[in-house]
């Protein structure tokens, strides 16, 4: 099967979660106007698994006649050598940084498998992140406004503007305890900060979104409903944004931002520190 010249199969291969390979690969590929079919292959920790992955990569080459792009992070030399025998264009995502760092530190690296290293390096930090996820889930979508003194950040906005995915991303990636509270149609007649949130306005931030985008998102869930109508979305956004300005709540428009970008911008404007495990 022949593919057009701007098509590429892309593989993210790692002896750990492959998150590093994916993140760097996405960032780099975003600079090029190409069509991709992406496959993530984590935990390539044995020779048998590596051989299987190599065969999968080679099969993609045989099917398309175009060498796949392989972003990989493998520390065991024997396993790494197998991946590097693939019929592909290969990009070792750590090599470009490790080599100059080795010379700058005048020190040989001591590679460790990512999975065992990440969990055992700092058990307390890992448990903190689990606690942050549990707290965030318990305070999702206005379910609870108890224990707000424990929150790192409180997010407000209309329904479907990105509060829940942002809250969960902050918790899962950075150990941030996030609360999110939705303003619904019934709130619009007398819109104000909930009394429970008022004492914590210093860590409260708003999310908003363009009307057209909100209409499209709501229609995916409740097509042709009043909830998803242009008129309803426009009215809710106008009133909520007016309240943000009146109450001096900093807010962010999420329309063209990914959840990663929303989270990073919130960390920046709030001054919160990332808690990496």
More confident residue, 216 or 124: 216
- 169, two tokens: 């991303």
Q: Considering only 23-32, 106-115, 134-143, which range has the smallest mean pLDDT? A: 106-115
72-81 pLDDT per residue, tens = 999 899 999 9
Mind listing the pLDDT tens digit for each residue in 64-104?
999 999 999 998 999 999 999 999 999 999 888 888 999 89
Q: Where in the chain is the domain with CATH 3.40.50?
A: 7-105, 122-270
Distance, CA of 7 to CA of 125 (rounded, Å): 41
Element (H, E) at 153: strand 153-158
> What is residue 273's predicted lDDT score, i.e. its pLDDT?
83
Topology given in CATH for the domain delimited by 7-105: Rossmann fold (3.40.50)
CATH class assigned to 122-270: alpha beta
**CB count, 10 Å around CB of 244?**
20
> pTM of the full predicted structure?
0.71
Average pLDDT over residues 17-25: 89
Please state which of the ranges 48-57, 62-71, 140-149, 265-274 shows the lowest mean pLDDT.
Answer: 265-274
Q: Order of strands, edge to edge, in the sheet holding 251-253? A: 178-183, 153-158, 204-208, 251-253
pLDDT for the residue 99:
87
Measured CA to CA in angstroms, residue 195 lies from 70, 144, 148, 160, 192 at distances of 53, 13, 12, 23, 9
Q: What is the per-residue pLDDT across 204-228, written as a single tens digit (0 to 9) for each? A: 999 999 999 999 999 999 999 999 9
């Amino acid at each position: 099967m022949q593919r057009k010249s701007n098509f590429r199969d892309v593989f993210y291969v790692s002896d750990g979660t492959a998150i590093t390979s994916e993140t760097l690969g996405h960032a780099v590929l975003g600079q090029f106007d190409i069509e991709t079919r992406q496959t993530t292959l984590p935990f390539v920790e044995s020779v048998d698994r590596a051989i299987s992955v190599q065969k999968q990569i080679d099969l993609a080459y045989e099917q398309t006649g175009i060498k796949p792009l392989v972003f990989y992070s493998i520390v065991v030399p024997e396993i790494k050598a197998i991946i590097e025998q693939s019929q592909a264009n290969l990009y070792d995502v750590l090599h470009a940084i490790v080599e100059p760092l080795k010379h700058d530190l005048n020190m040989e690296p001591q590679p460790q498998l990512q999975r065992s290293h990440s969990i055992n390096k700092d058990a307390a930090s890992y448990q903190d992140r689990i606690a942050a996820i549990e707290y965030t889930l318990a305070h999702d979508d206005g379910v609870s406004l108890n224990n707000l003194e424990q929150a790192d950040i409180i997010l407000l906005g209309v329904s479907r503007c990105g509060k829940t995915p942002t809250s969960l991303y902050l918790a899962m990636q950075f150990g941030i305890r996030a609360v999110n509270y939705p303003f619904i149609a019934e709130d619009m007649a007398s819109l104000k900060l909930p009394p429970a949130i008022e004492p914590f306005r210093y860590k409260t931030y708003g999310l908003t979104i363009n009307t057209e985008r909100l209409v499209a998102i709501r229609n995916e869930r409740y097509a042709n409903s009043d909830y998803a109508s242009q008129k309803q979305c426009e009215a809710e956004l106008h009133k909520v944004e007016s309240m943000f300005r009146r109450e001096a709540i900093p807010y962010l428009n999420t329309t063209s931002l990914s959840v990663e970008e929303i989270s990073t911008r919130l960390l920046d404007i709030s001054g919160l520190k990332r808690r990496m495990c």
